[in-house]
Structure 1
Amino acid sequence: MIRGLSGVAKEKNKKPNLVRKTFRWFFRTIFVLIVLILVTAVGAIGVGVGYISAYAKDEKLRTRADYDKYLTNWSETSYAYFRPTEENSPELIGRFHNAQDRQLIRSLSEVSPYLLNAFIATEDREFYKHLGISPRSLGRVFYEQLQNLLGHDIQTTGGSTITQQLVRSEILGERIKTGERKIREMLNAVRLEKYYGKNEILIKYLNSTYYGQGANRKHLYGVAAAARGIFNKEVKDLELAQAAYIAGMVQRPIAYSPFPSKKEKQDENLKNGTERMKIVLHNMLKTRKITKQQYDQAIHFDIKASLAKPEDFKNEDALNTYPFLITTVEDEATDILQELYKNDPDFKDKNRSYFRRKVKSGGYKIYTTVDKKLYEELNKAADSMQYPYAWYKEKKMHEQIGASMVDNKTGDILAFVSGVNMNEENEEHAFMARNQTGSSMKPLLAYGPAMNEGILSPDSVIIDEPLKKEWSSEYYQNADTKFHGRVSATKALQWSYNLPAVKIFRELGKEKAFKYLPLMGMQPHKNDGESLVLGGATVGFTVTEMTGAYAMIANHGQFNKPHLINRIEDSTGKVVFDFHQSNKPHQVFKPEVTYALTQMLRTVVTSGTASGQIGSATSGYQVAGKTGTSNDNYDLWFVGYTPEISLGVWTGYEYNLPGDTSLANRAWARLFKAAANADPKRIPRGTSFTNPGGSVPYKCFECHRSAPTPDDKKKQTE
């Protein structure tokens, strides 16, 4: 109990009789002697003796490496960052969503001296003098154990040093106080002090302590997290009273937490915590860590008024502020860690969920490729559009959008749109959703590979005529349901004729054509056939995969894997992943082929299927690209690029419902203009696609044939 504001009352105990006092003194002395032997033995040969060995017979004599595993692999909150700009260093996206919050300190200089002194004065005044265990408490512990052996049920007491507390919480993990645990605790404490310096032990202790929930509703581990979660302060900036409050919490964090899970206990907890704070302040005064004046001021400090508020943290969790961005970064980081540790025997049995938890609580700093301004402007532009809706099973659904913008030269994903009006029921549409690609697949699976293999050129003549489907008596059709006779490859692509694309694919052969897709980061399904050249996929492809493939065309045939993460640092600042060291670009198409293909795709924008909305909206920019529409207008695409960036856009419903046939083109134009206005240096006007030299020689494809007559067409369709 507390008497007044500064006095700590001591409970009055009956004075023990002389026999009992002598008995206790004798066994304390014997026990101290045994421990001294233990200290010597552990320091010299690492074994226990006599009575100690009997209790610790099953205790492993751990090495420095063993202790490191326990004391260096703590969970710690991870952070994600936007890409740096010319003016600014990387800006924080936010903290990964994690029910636990731990921020590790690396040096005692990062901690308020008030807090350090509060812990020493209250938890272990002889910390810098003892060898891991305090002689003052050893006799009492030995006496209690002897009494228990004699059949007297005596509850063991405290008296643990800071080193012992660290052993108990992080190495033994036992909360029930028993004699055996106490011996094991002391054994490990002595060994721990052999391997680590005092300051090292104190740092690890300060990082290990638990403080209940904070105002951010997260469980707080370590003093840095406690300072933020309880007072919204850096741990080095704590006031004396705040430091004393935190130091006082370690013995009963749930009872002293000012943010209990049950709100009705808040006042009670705060009262108990404040009383405990006064005891800590008294200890600091008694040990001359603070002056009487400091003590008096701290006693009257308004702890309640200085507490953090939940709203202080409303924008710190990236899951709240950038839900789709942080989730997608989390997914890619999980893939990276799985790949990094796939050959490590310690991680061979770990599943994906383990690595996902490691991403969120491994103390990583994850530096993304995402440009904050571009990301926000693209999403703002997407949100400002009008989206049609339809009814599906009595549920009103809006048409959705997915978009991804990639830097052609690096593969950096600069920005993306996951969807609009999204909730937990929606699928993410830039990276996760796989859709039929329609005719946007033609340059990747027919025209590009055929020119690269030397069997097609932009001026090659192809006869657009009736053609039966693979393994079927049905015929392919063009979107306009017409046949156009002899057309050049450029015109066939410009107006997205289906029959010439199938003919080119057949000339290539499935095996040769399909070998190109994996080189672009796209894996065809085992059941995919020639209909894939028209976008008829078994599973489909993501917007980001398609955009990355078109960026390869813009980059003279060199493919860079589209990626969201450039670098990952661990909690010590060590770089554990660097994209540009682990992923090298590779050549897919010859440079002269991609230049010729780009000129063909320019006609799509200037005078072909995309000229109406995209061509007219991109005056002053050289844009090449391709539209795509799946059967029944379920999926609508435009994937386009300038010399600097590629932007892919998909629109459609999440179920098979016909979409707005012009929405993808309108959205592409709106997003492109928003990006160009946001970053005119990255997307400048007036730049042109550079000719890398060389050319694609003319190839005769069907030039020897005459255009079919109307009678021929009639016979072929009967």
Structure 2
Amino acid sequence: MSSSRKSGKLVADRRYSGKSPGQTPKKPAKKKKAPTPRRAPRRRGPVAWILGFFGWIMRTVLKITVSVAVIVALLIGSWVLYTSSTLPELNTLLDGRARGSVTLMDRDGRVFALRGDQFGGAVTATSVSPHLKNAVVATEDKRFYSHFGLSPRGIASAVRINLSEGRGPLSGHGGSTITQQTAKLLCLGRTFDPKEWKNEAEFVADCRQGSLERKINEAIFAMAMEVKYSKNDILSIYLNRAYMGGGAYGAEAAAQRYFGKHAAALNPSEGAMIAGLLTAPSTLSPTSNLERSQARAATVLRLMEEQGYLTAEQEAEAQRNPARLSSQADSLGGGYFADWVMQSGPEFFTKDTTEDVLISTTMDPRLQQATEDAVDKVFREKVSDSSKAQVAVIVMSADGAVRAMVGGRDVDATGLFNRAFQAVRQTGSAFKPFIYATALELGYSPYDTVLDEPYCLNIPGSGQWCPENYTRKYSGRVTLIDALKRSLNIPAIKVSESVGRDLVMRVARDFGIYRDLQDVPSMALGTSGATLLEMTGAYAGILNGGSSVTPYGLKELRLKGEQEPLMGTGGGIGERVIQESAARQLAWMMEKVVSEGTGGRAKVDGWQVAGKTGTSQEARDAWFVGFTSEYVAGVWMGYDDNTPLTGVTGGGLPAEIFGEVMARVHDGMTPQPLPMEAPVPPAPEPEPAPQVVQQPQVQPAPRTPGRTRQVESNSLEDVLRSIFGGN
């Protein structure tokens, strides 16, 4: 190669564009943007300003609302959580009765009446019949398992209905869920305090009030329950605490009360009937009106089918076979007899008991039914439907054990005025046996005589008093037998005055007529008052041979689950009042009242009957009280307002009712003679011997056993007899 040529540079090819090796590349210069031409500011119109202002207000209000809502939610949540922390354990809430129960049993040990708050035992929502559980949910709160204790839809619907019906938004329909109803039953956690409330009724009324404050507290308590308990727990409390009519609290008590079975064994018809009671337990109770209760149950069954708890076939079958009361439930009630026992027993074991009490009584169910049927029959056949006349009947044994009691025309009523032991009425001539009992005790004979004639007495401070016989006729000299069986007034007054009113009052009181007897001559005509229970008990003393009795219905009282009784019989035979011979002779005289005298309508075929009619002044009261060898019965008729009876005396309808009652009571029994004693008839008066002396000296003849005594008033002889006795 020629040396003159220049050789090339021994260097590598450029790897980097624009720069030599080892040279830092330069950043490309940024291109400057062309300046944007400025627009002239646009003026906003008044509409835009207004819209902007309102937009700002809305955003502000929204922010405030959200903030307040959050704060309120936090406060409510805290309130609910705090309330839930104060709620007790579930098992302490199941029995919510304020009082205990009283179960009354008849003389055979069968339950015939329930009083107080019955509780059959705790149940749960899973232990009761699913038909009952579903019926309650379908009827009371179909969204129970989906809400949080409150139902906004239900509340809105209730407010709309209330407003449409002209009421306040919170008056009437409440839209309450089962949880809210349970909160009411729990009285929002409060319990009855006698120091705070006058009585339990005021406490319950306060628990049921519907003020706005109350509704708010109720809502908080309901949500707290949803936090504390499960849905089934809440439903369990409800099923145990809800009142279901007939004195039954809770599903188990209602199932036993109406159907005689456990709540777990209820069929769809029975479950629907019990669920239907929750709306109006007293009105819809099947023991009050079975047809109305069945109609309500039919509605519940339709709801159950609509909500899928029953198939169409099951619902149709249940509709064809509505629930009916068990035979035991149909016989429960006890009416007047149970009311009497409850009022005559100690209040801390009856009216105010907090325990479950069992009371054995003297009631005979056969005799009670016989008495009720007899009263119904006589009133149906003999008394006008428009009449307001009332009746009372008592049947008892000779020892004072009451076997049957009716206190009004509504023979099996409960909680009404009981005329058998609460009505104090004038006894009329039904009082006369105590006058003759006093005379017989003093040694008088039924064959002794008294002059029946017009008669007047001067009453200090009142002037002259001239009583009359009922017929206003007089019979001259009559025996005590005739005077009693014909119910003559004048002889009764004369005998009373002869033996002494103080002794008559003492005998009457000792026999059981313990009210204040008026120490006046008219006492002999029964102007003082007494109850039918007292009069019947006093006549029982004549039957048993002259000993007093204290009528009683309670035999034994004990607490449920205990074997030892807390108290026993509070009545029975007491001290002797008159001698047995006097009582037997009086029974013999009283038998003549029925067989020959004013009490003829009281006869009972095949049986000897003794008794006495009685009609008070102006016929305001009509009585018949009498007995056979087995039972004593008393009947009273009258008006509650003391209106005089028209065409009724003691020998009329009261005697007929007595005869009808006793015929049924003695049906199937073998007749037994009365414990009576006929007195020895007086010997005939001897013919006077011819007088030899023209002017004989008349001397008082000494009394001999065969001669009768003449009872005359206002004589020294009567005074001496009343002081020294018979001879």
Q: Is this a same-fold pair by TM over 0.5? A: yes
How far off is 1:441 after superposition? Answer: 0.3
Does residue 312 (structure 1) correspond to residue 324 (structure 2)? The answer is yes
Does residue 648 (structure 1) correspond to residue 637 (structure 2)? The answer is no
SS of the residue corresponding to residue 457 of structure 2 reads coil
- Note closer, same or farther for the CA distance 1:202–1:420 as it changes in structure 2 (3 Å cut): closer
Does residue 104 (structure 1) correspond to residue 104 (structure 2)? The answer is no
Residues 444-501 of structure 1: per-residue CA shift (max 9 Å, x gap): 2x2223433x364434444445231533312222334355555443333233232332
Structure 1's unaligned 5+ residue stretches are 1-54, 119-159, 190-200, 279-297, 343-354, 390-395, 709-718
SS of the residue corresponding to residue 374 of structure 1 reads helix
SS of the residue corresponding to residue 473 of structure 1 reads strand
Distance 2:327 2:498 in 1: 56
1:111–1:236 contact (8 Å) kept in structure 2: yes
SS of the residue corresponding to residue 650 of structure 1 reads strand
Aligned to 2:667: 680
1:592–1:692 contact (8 Å) kept in structure 2: no
2:622–2:648 contact (8 Å) kept in structure 1: yes
2:368–2:403 contact (8 Å) kept in structure 1: no
How far off is 1:246 after superposition? Answer: 13
TM-score between both structures, scaled by the size of structure 2: 0.55
Distance 1:486 1:630 in 2: 25
- Note closer, same or farther for the CA distance 1:670–1:264 as it changes in structure 2 (3 Å cut): closer
Does residue 477 (structure 1) correspond to residue 442 (structure 2)? The answer is no
Distance 1:236 1:653 in 2: 49
Aligned to 2:378: 382
Q: CA RMSD in A?
A: 6.6
Aligned to 1:551: 540
How far off is 1:224 after superposition? Answer: 1.0
Return the letter of the residue paired with 1:631.
Q
Does residue 237 (structure 1) correspond to residue 224 (structure 2)? The answer is no
Return the letter of the residue paired with 2:504.
A
Aligned to 1:224: 252
More helix by share: 1
Distance 1:269 1:221 in 2: 20
1:378–1:416 contact (8 Å) kept in structure 2: no
Does residue 449 (structure 1) correspond to residue 438 (structure 2)? The answer is yes
1:418–1:429 contact (8 Å) kept in structure 2: yes
Residues 318-348 of structure 1: per-residue CA shift (max 9 Å, x gap): 7xx89xx7442343233234x3539xxxxxx
586, 604, 626: which one pairs with 2:574? Answer: 586
User: In the TM superposition, what are the counterparts of 1:154-303 in structure 2 within 5 Å?
Assistant: 208-210=240-242, 221-225=249-253, 234-238=262-266, 302=314
Residues 496-524 of structure 1: per-residue CA shift (max 9 Å, x gap): 23233223333454444333434333333
How far off is 1:95 after superposition? Answer: 5.1
Distance 2:296 2:486 in 1: 71
How far off is 1:550 after superposition? Answer: 1.0
Distance 1:613 1:421 in 2: 22
Structure 2's unaligned 5+ residue stretches are 1-81, 135-178, 192-206, 208-213, 286-291, 682-702, 715-727
SS of the residue corresponding to residue 397 of structure 1 reads coil
Return the letter of the residue paired with 2:508.
L
TM-score between both structures, scaled by the size of structure 1: 0.55
- Note closer, same or farther for the CA distance 1:307–1:632 as it changes in structure 2 (3 Å cut): same
Aligned to 1:491: 482
2:545–2:583 contact (8 Å) kept in structure 1: yes
Distance 2:356 2:530 in 1: 32
Return the letter of the residue paired with 2:424.
R
Does residue 596 (structure 1) correspond to residue 596 (structure 2)? The answer is no
Aligned to 1:607: 596
Does residue 341 (structure 1) correspond to residue 327 (structure 2)? The answer is no
How far off is 1:416 after superposition? Answer: 4.0
Distance 2:257 2:394 in 1: 36
Distance 1:397 1:407 in 2: 32
SS of the residue corresponding to residue 381 of structure 1 reads helix
Return the letter of the residue paired with 2:581.
E
Distance 1:405 1:246 in 2: 38
1:76–1:104 contact (8 Å) kept in structure 2: no
Return the letter of the residue paired with 2:342.
T
1:365–1:571 contact (8 Å) kept in structure 2: no
Aligned to 1:513: 504
Aligned to 2:396: 406
402, 418, 422: which one pairs with 2:408? Answer: 418
Aligned to 1:439: 429
Return the letter of the residue paired with 2:378.
A
Greater C-alpha Rg: 2
- Note closer, same or farther for the CA distance 1:588–1:532 as it changes in structure 2 (3 Å cut): farther
Distance 1:664 1:268 in 2: 54
- Note closer, same or farther for the CA distance 1:474–1:71 as it changes in structure 2 (3 Å cut): same
- Note closer, same or farther for the CA distance 1:513–1:428 as it changes in structure 2 (3 Å cut): same
- Note closer, same or farther for the CA distance 1:423–1:75 as it changes in structure 2 (3 Å cut): closer
Aligned to 1:629: 615
Return the letter of the residue paired with 1:234.
H
How far off is 1:623 after superposition? Answer: 1.6
Aligned to 1:151: none
Distance 2:259 2:711 in 1: 83
Distance 1:266 1:165 in 2: 24
Return the letter of the residue paired with 1:90.
R
How far off is 1:209 after superposition? Answer: 4.2
How far off is 1:531 after superposition? Answer: 1.5
How far off is 1:596 after superposition? Answer: 1.7
How far off is 1:554 after superposition? Answer: 0.5
1:460–1:698 contact (8 Å) kept in structure 2: no
Residues 556-607 of structure 1: per-residue CA shift (max 9 Å, x gap): 12333334454555554667676x6332420242322211211222222333
Residues 24-70 of structure 1: per-residue CA shift (max 9 Å, x gap): xxxxxxxxxxxxxxxxxxxxxxxxxxxxxxx89x99999x9xx89x9
SS of the residue corresponding to residue 581 of structure 1 reads coil
1:95–1:316 contact (8 Å) kept in structure 2: no
- Note closer, same or farther for the CA distance 1:479–1:494 as it changes in structure 2 (3 Å cut): same
Distance 1:405 1:266 in 2: 40
SS of the residue corresponding to residue 104 of structure 1 reads coil
Return the letter of the residue paired with 2:428.
G
- Note closer, same or farther for the CA distance 1:438–1:700 as it changes in structure 2 (3 Å cut): farther
2:188–2:221 contact (8 Å) kept in structure 1: no
1:232–1:312 contact (8 Å) kept in structure 2: no
How far off is 1:181 after superposition? Answer: 8.8
How far off is 1:405 after superposition? Answer: 2.2
How far off is 1:548 after superposition? Answer: 1.9
How far off is 1:642 after superposition? Answer: 1.2
- Note closer, same or farther for the CA distance 1:645–1:467 as it changes in structure 2 (3 Å cut): same
Distance 1:177 1:365 in 2: 42
Aligned to 2:624: 638
The percentage of aligned residue pairs carrying the same residue is 19
Aligned to 1:620: 606
1:382–1:420 contact (8 Å) kept in structure 2: no
Aligned to 2:336: 328
How far off is 1:706 after superposition? Answer: 8.1
